[in-house]
Amino acid sequence: MKVGVVYDPVYLGHDPGEHPENRHRLEAIVSRLQETGLWEKLTHIAPRPATMEELRRVHSESHIRYVRELVESGGGQIDADTVVSALSYEAALYAAGGAESAVEAVMGGEVSSAFALVRPPGHHATRKQAMGFCLFNNVAVGAAHAMDKYKLQRVLILDFDVHHGNGTQDIFADEPRVNYISVHQSPLYPGSGSMEERGAGNMFNIPLPPDCGDGEYARVYDEIVILIARRFKPQLILVSAGFDAHWAYELASMCLSINGYAQIARRIKALAGQFCKGRLVFSLEGGYNPAPLAGCVKAVFDVLLGNERIEDRLGFCPSRESPPDIVPLMVRLKESFGLS
Ligand code: ZN
């Protein structure tokens, strides 16, 4: 069972300055994987830049041109959160292309699963707009590639970043070959992601109240995500893997532990095994504290490699009070999604 990793130093070139989404995130992940000996157990997949034709599957021509011209002019600010520097366009092309390289390796059978360690992240980038640290929507480019090149008819995108993936929703709201499930905190940036936003019936938003932890997330996967997957029967699962629902991230209010992320990864791996011959691609989204981020990513690789033991140096949230009661929400979600 080979597990792939997509990584290239080109991703370090995107430099938004003093910013939570910086190169140290990837450096911390790679160091942790190297120190612990996991790095050499992985199959290394070289990313390539996405082509214009591939980007145009999910982005408007004017959006692509805008990002390129801003970078060519020396960089600058797109919105309050989203900044580009001289090497950002190249990094963004390779981030989108990295998701495609991971899809190719999994679809070609070189590896059974893969994790694209890319930046800038992607899930807030809409068809026409960069926002929320994201320039191009890497997972969407990967999903479109799977549908175009491999003629897949059913691609499931799971998004466990603490923020709603408004960009992915925008891009695929009318695409019946995609089911998108986002489990995110609400209220929180970017403000979208209510359960009523159903696209063409293929969007499944699971907005959770603050303070949800490992137990609440496990329930969501066991009682809702699995039913949607069972009904859809995906041929490939892509994951927008954001680790900012870890309790140590102070700009959100979730309480997942590293072990909790491992539990989620186990469930997703089981779904891939059940429905699509294990074909599974993770693509890095958020997660801004280097230590928890590196620990969570390592835990996902441990799960993919089949290692039983998960190292959680940080443990559970020290200040967590009582967890919220999500039972009424789960009932409403099941009704809304036609699962009951
Ligand atoms: Zn996020």
**Phi first, then psi: what are they for 33, rounded to 5°?**
-65, -35
Does the pLDDT of residue 143 top 80, yes or no?
Answer: yes
Q: Separation of 1 CA from ligand 1 center, angstroms?
A: 30
Q: Separation of 242 CA from ligand 1 center, angstroms?
A: 6
Q: Separation of 163 CA from ligand 1 center, angstroms?
A: 4
Q: What is the pLDDT confidence band of residue 135, given thresholds at 50, 70 and 90?
A: very high
Kindly report the average pLDDT of the chain as a whole number.
97
CA dihedral 46, 52, 56, 57 (to 10 degrees): -40
State percent of the chain over pLDDT 90. 98
Q: Separation of 161 CA from ligand 1 center, angstroms?
A: 5
DSSP code at position 255: B
Does the pLDDT of residue 257 top 90, yes or no?
Answer: yes
Q: Separation of 210 CA from ligand 1 center, angstroms?
A: 14
Q: Residue 277 CB: number of other CB atoms within 10 A?
A: 13
Q: Which residues are catalytic?
A: 124
Does the pLDDT of residue 340 top 80, yes or no?
Answer: no
| CA–CA separation, 128 and 132 (whole Å) | 13
Q: Separation of 286 CA from ligand 1 center, angstroms?
A: 4
For 181-197, the pLDDT digits (tens) are 999 999 999 999 999 99
| CA–CA separation, 75 and 154 (whole Å) | 38
Q: Separation of 142 CA from ligand 1 center, angstroms?
A: 19
Q: Radius of gyration of the chain from Cα atoms? A: 18
The amino acid at residue 310 is I
Burial of 55 (0-12, 13-18, 19+ CB in 10 A): buried
Q: From 3.30.465.10, 3.10.450.50, 3.40.800.20, 3.40.50.720, which CATH number describes the 3-336 domain?
A: 3.40.800.20
pLDDT of residue 320: 85
Q: Is the pTM of this model over 0.95?
A: yes
Domain segments of the chain as ranges: 3-336
| Residue with tokens 């805008």, as numbered in its chain | 66
